[in-house]
Chains A and B, each alone.
Chain A
Amino acid sequence: DAGVTQSPTHLIKTRGQQVTLRCSPKSGHDTVSWYQQALGQGPQFIFQYYEEEERQRGNFPDRFSGHQFPNYSSELNVNALLLGDSALYLCASSLLQGRAEAFFGQGTRLTVV
């Protein structure tokens, strides 16, 4: 049973560019959440997708957007990259109701130069 998979694992982008990160949830899970983790900090919630809609959002600007596909996979898009967007981006999958734990992927390390 494959867990949560994220791609790519590492990425280098230039300030001002746009980036798309991808996530495939654990088999059977229908909800995907995205987190940003800066160096030395805990993960910060960006948003959550369920039934192809954004259901909950953290304190992140509109430059951060996402999408969920019918197969439950998800994309995180960041426009107009800033140096401060450099971080580990984590995807977590879960069932919206019922199960307690969220399963996290290994993350995508984004470096903005």
Chain B
Amino acid sequence: DAKTTQPPSMDCAEGRAANLPCNHSTISGNEYVYWYRQIHSQGPQYIIHGLKNNETNEMASLIITEDRKSSTLILPHATLRDTAVYYCIVRTQPGNSGYALNFGKGTSLLVTP
């Protein structure tokens, strides 16, 4: 699975959009981009995933560049409860090979009042 690079930390004001970048320059054609987050003292929580098209759900939007070498997770209106570590993970679609997730160190997002 491709390696990802994320900034170690970011700040965002409450109510503003939080834009979390992820670089995955070695991504291959059959690899998906997944985002999980981990709020302090809890297990990781799935947010969103995508292959090459932009995706949106009730939690966030995922913007993937045309060359697929980077992506941005957007939390449109950040709240204090969005303070967490956000992990960008690149891997092939789960199948017979299983579903191991390769977490890096992620980005620690602090949402301030």
Contacts and interface: CB of A to CB of B under 8 A. Distances in A.
Interface string B17-58: 000000000000000101000000111111001000000000
Contact of B100 (A42, A50, A58): A58
Interface residues of A, number: 29
A42 B105 contact: yes
Contacts of A94: 94, 99
Interface string B69-113: 000000000000000010100000111111111111110000000
Size class of the contact patch on chain B: 20 to 34
Contacts of A98: 94
A31 B99 contact: yes
Contacts of A90: 43-44
A43 B46 contact: no
Contacts of A4: 43
Contacts of A111: none
25 contacts: A31-B99, A33-B99, A33-B101, A35-B103, A41-B105, A42-B85, A42-B87, A42-B105, A43-B44, A45-B101, A45-B102, A56-B97, A56-B100, A90-B43, A92-B101, A96-B96, A97-B94, A100-B34, A100-B93, A101-B46, A101-B49, A102-B46, A104-B45, A105-B43, A106-B41
